[in-house]
A and B are shown apart, each in its own frame.
Chain A
Amino acid sequence: MTVFILRRLLQSVGVLFATSIIVFLGVFAIGNPADILIAADATQAERQAAIVSLGLDRPLLEQYWIFLSNALQGDLGRSFVFNQPAIGLILARLPATLELAFVALFIALAAGIPLGLIAGLKPQTIVDETIMTGSILGFSLPNFWQGMMLIMIFSVWLGWLPAGGRGETVQVLGISTSLLSWDGIAHLILPATNLALFNLALVIRLTRTGVREIMPLDFIKFARAKGLTERRIVLVHVLKNIMIPVVTVVGMEFGSIIAFAVVTETIFSWPGIGKLLIDSIMLLDRPVVVSYLLVVVFMFIVINLLVDIAYSLLDPRIRLRDSQ
């Protein structure tokens, strides 16, 4: 088990290192930030001073080396635009994105599992067909357009919910959250729904497949023979067995929720890391783009690692296969 975890850990470090090189090299190719950041009417001397202070005159390898050794100390460079540490900018906006992502995940699970159960228990009926067609629709709806339609219907036409921004937040243990004020929740509903829809469709499918695979199994027949109510069989025995694949896939999907938050945050002007990324790409703010990508890939690797470990604990076959 320790060997398994150690090996996965080493792999993760390798992926992160490779990402840092690719990202750094690639970002260098975007364009010359000096042209963007230094005022057009700056004198040649001012321009040169700015280039030196930003470190843009050094050789590429040296810039990467400085970047890497700083990165290991938690310093990912200063934003050209905000003139603040890039990592600080990311971390300051991370709670907003995480809050959005968790609420979206919650919506996907809370609505998806019951719908998947209903569809799986009544296969090939109208109810099943409707739910499954709905889930294909959920996969097909372009995320950004669906968000715009939510704004159009609930903000512009009905006027029930705000169209963007984060609203009022409350500080709890140093972290600001929208969940404790009505204004905050009102601002959260549309973006969270927007972000949840794709995973809602996914959870419906996973649950339905799980139900259909588990229902014909012997232990269900046994439970019936024992005289358990159908309600107890479904809610306890079936649900428990479905949770393993659902939790695994959803754990993996959490990373893509964070990535898709880029779209949601852009549409709803949600002040998280996704909006920061798009703004920074447009302004060629290199350190922030690099920091975003590294932080997200890092989060991703950690999540994957945790899911892998959890899974190998749940299912010994994976552990055995991997240590061969």
Chain B
Amino acid sequence: MSAPMSRWRLSTDSTLGKAVDGIVTSPKAAVGAVVAILLVLVAIFGPWIAPQNPYDLGAIDFFDARLPPMSPTMNGSIYLLGTDGQGRDMLSAMIYGLRTSIAVGLLAGIVALVVGTALGLVAAYIGGRVDALVMRLVDLMLGLPAILVALMLLALLGQGVWKVILALVLVQWAQFARAVRAAALVERNKEYVEAAVSLGLSRPRILFGHMLPNCLPPIIVVGTLQVASAISAEATLSFLGIGLPITEPSLGLLIANGYKVLLSGQYWISVYPGLLLLLLVFSINVVGDRLREVFNPRFLGR
């Protein structure tokens, strides 16, 4: 009967187990993780939670434009966080904006992760010219500020959801490639890789079946932090008017709408979406920071 107790604890030998254990043992990171998961759930179930569909023209009333928070609606309920310039319920617009922000950030982060990890692994394993070429590209990308590259690309390509994702992937893959390559270089010289080579396993199988699982810690750390930075970068680009088009309003665009009326004291149109964006990015960063602490060997034994 003593066995079931230990079942509830994930094995701390596995990378994932170590990650979960690290988060649970730090109150700050645990709160961050709970908030982040809650926000993702709100984003997924947004259409059922939001009081109003802010993009259904039949549901919004232009006469309700720019009402302060807690104003009553026509049908007796209240606009908890006020309304924006078109008479949309701010809370509903924020929930829909959160969906867009998280979807774009996650998608960009995942594509960058896949591309960067693959290139980093291959570069480390093959070495020589391939490695030199990949690393030269990585140096070039990391040498230029991400926001400048994204600005450049979007200035050239114009607005659009896929263009924003492309720009974000382009500025982020290098972070993954560098981190994974560094880890893979260490793994490459270990005996299990030698054993796999002697067994005559194929290259892809050695790379992705054997080395990849051992390179997971840096991938998890960089992945978490990069999703946060992708969400933040998308918001910035959308705010500048060169990110997502107005048909796909993310939190950044909602804030941009509020910017125009900020000086006239209608703070709620920009303050609340901004707080939500901050909460999202901050909670992911807190978790990422804890993961870095857990997986960075330099912090071990101190």
- The answer, yes or no, to whether B112 is at the interface (CB within 8 Å) is no
- The answer, yes or no, to whether A136 is at the interface (CB within 8 Å) is yes
Decide yes or no: A26 and B148 within 8 Å by CB, A140-B232, A267-B259, A300-B143 being known contacts.
no
- The answer, yes or no, to whether A81 is at the interface (CB within 8 Å) is no
- The answer, yes or no, to whether B271 is at the interface (CB within 8 Å) is yes
- The answer, yes or no, to whether B1 is at the interface (CB within 8 Å) is no
* Alpha-carbon distance A129/B137, docked complex (angstroms): 37
B156 and A156 within 8 A (CB): no
Q: Which residues of chain B are within 8 angstroms of A26 by Cβ–Cβ distance?
A: 152-153, 155-157
Q: Which of B145, B255, B274, B286 is in CB contact (< 8 Å) with A255?
A: B145
* Chain A, range 92-139, C-beta contacts under 8 Å to B: 129, 133, 136-137, 139
* Alpha-carbon distance A297/B140, docked complex (angstroms): 11
A256 and B145 within 8 A (CB): yes
* Alpha-carbon distance A262/B145, docked complex (angstroms): 12
* Chain A, range 278-324, C-beta contacts under 8 Å to B: 278, 281-282, 289, 293, 296-297, 300, 304
Q: Which of B151, B228, B255 is in CB contact (< 8 Å) with A259?
A: B151
Decide yes or no: A29 and B156 within 8 Å by CB, A256-B145, A259-B147 being known contacts.
yes
* Alpha-carbon distance A266/B143, docked complex (angstroms): 24
Q: Which residues of chain A are within 8 angstroms of B236 by Cβ–Cβ distance?
A: 142-144, 263
- The answer, yes or no, to whether B270 is at the interface (CB within 8 Å) is yes
A262 and B262 within 8 A (CB): no
A148 and B274 within 8 A (CB): yes
- The answer, yes or no, to whether B130 is at the interface (CB within 8 Å) is no
Which of B42-50, B102-110, B204-212, B276-284 sits within the interface? B276-284
* Alpha-carbon distance A293/B302, docked complex (angstroms): 45
* Beta-carbon nearest neighbor of A278 in chain B: B240
* Chain A, range 253-280, C-beta contacts under 8 Å to B: 255-256, 259-260, 262-263, 266-267, 277-278
B151 and A136 within 8 A (CB): no
* Beta-carbon nearest neighbor of B273 in chain A: A145
B282 and A136 within 8 A (CB): yes
Q: Which residues of chain B are within 8 angstroms of A145 by Cβ–Cβ distance?
A: 235, 239, 255, 270, 274, 277-278
Among A23, A148, A267, A278: residue with most chain B CB under 10 A: A148
- The answer, yes or no, to whether A152 is at the interface (CB within 8 Å) is yes
A152 and B145 within 8 A (CB): no
* Beta-carbon nearest neighbor of A135 in chain B: B289
A30 and B285 within 8 A (CB): no
Among B144, B157, B265, B282: residue with most chain A CB under 10 A: B144
B282 and A266 within 8 A (CB): no
Decide yes or no: A156 and B265 within 8 Å by CB, A142-B235, A262-B240 being known contacts.
yes
* Alpha-carbon distance A66/B284, docked complex (angstroms): 49
Decide yes or no: A266 and B240 within 8 Å by CB, A136-B289, A139-B285, A142-B277 being known contacts.
yes
* Beta-carbon nearest neighbor of B136 in chain A: A11
- The answer, yes or no, to whether A74 is at the interface (CB within 8 Å) is no
Q: Which residues of chain A are within 8 angstroms of B147 by Cβ–Cβ distance?
A: 256, 259-260, 262-263
Chain B binding site: helix, strand, loop or mixed by DSSP? helix
A156 and B263 within 8 A (CB): yes
B278 and A304 within 8 A (CB): no
Q: Which residues of chain B are within 8 angstroms of A197 by Cβ–Cβ distance?
A: none
- The answer, yes or no, to whether A227 is at the interface (CB within 8 Å) is no
- The answer, yes or no, to whether B242 is at the interface (CB within 8 Å) is yes
Decide yes or no: A23 and B156 within 8 Å by CB, A136-B286, A142-B236, A300-B143 being known contacts.
yes
* Chain B, range 209-254, C-beta contacts under 8 Å to A: 228, 232, 235-236, 239-242, 252
The interface size of chain B toward A, counting residues with CB under 8 Å, comes to 42
Binary CB contact string for chain A from 19 to 37 against chain B (1 if under 8 A, 0 otherwise):
0001100110111000000
How many CB-defined contacts (below 8 Å) exist between A and B?
A: 121
- The answer, yes or no, to whether B72 is at the interface (CB within 8 Å) is no
A142 and B278 within 8 A (CB): yes
Q: Which residues of chain A are within 8 angstroms of B242 by Cβ–Cβ distance?
A: 278, 281
Q: Which residues of chain A are within 8 angstroms of B145 by Cβ–Cβ distance?
A: 255-256, 259-260, 300
- The answer, yes or no, to whether B203 is at the interface (CB within 8 Å) is no
Q: Which residues of chain B are within 8 angstroms of A180 by Cβ–Cβ distance?
A: none
Binary CB contact string for chain B from 184 to 220 against chain A (1 if under 8 A, 0 otherwise):
0000000000000000000000000000000000000
B232 and A304 within 8 A (CB): no
B156 and A30 within 8 A (CB): yes
A148 and B241 within 8 A (CB): no
B262 and A152 within 8 A (CB): yes
Q: Which residues of chain B are within 8 angstroms of A293 by Cβ–Cβ distance?
A: 152, 155
Q: Which residues of chain B are within 8 angstroms of A304 by Cβ–Cβ distance?
A: 143
Q: Which residues of chain A are within 8 angstroms of B235 by Cβ–Cβ distance?
A: 142, 144-145
B274 and A281 within 8 A (CB): no
Further pairs besides A152-B270, A262-B147: 17, Cβ < 8 Å: A23-B152, A29-B156, A136-B282, A140-B285, A143-B236, A148-B255, A148-B259, A148-B270, A151-B262, A156-B265, A259-B148, A263-B147, A267-B259, A277-B155, A281-B242, A293-B155, A300-B143
A-B contact pairs, 25 of them (CB 8 A): A29-B157, A29-B158, A30-B158, A133-B28, A139-B285, A140-B232, A142-B235, A142-B252, A144-B240, A145-B239, A145-B277, A148-B259, A151-B263, A152-B262, A156-B263, A156-B267, A255-B144, A259-B147, A260-B145, A263-B239, A266-B240, A289-B155, A300-B143, A300-B144, A300-B148
B positions within 8 Å CB-CB of A: 28, 140, 143-148, 151-153, 155-158, 228, 232, 235-236, 239-242, 252, 255, 258-259, 262-263, 265, 267, 270-271, 274, 277-278, 281-282, 285-286, 289, 302
Closest 8 CB pairs of A and B: A26-B156, A256-B145, A145-B274, A259-B148, A140-B282, A259-B145, A140-B281, A144-B239
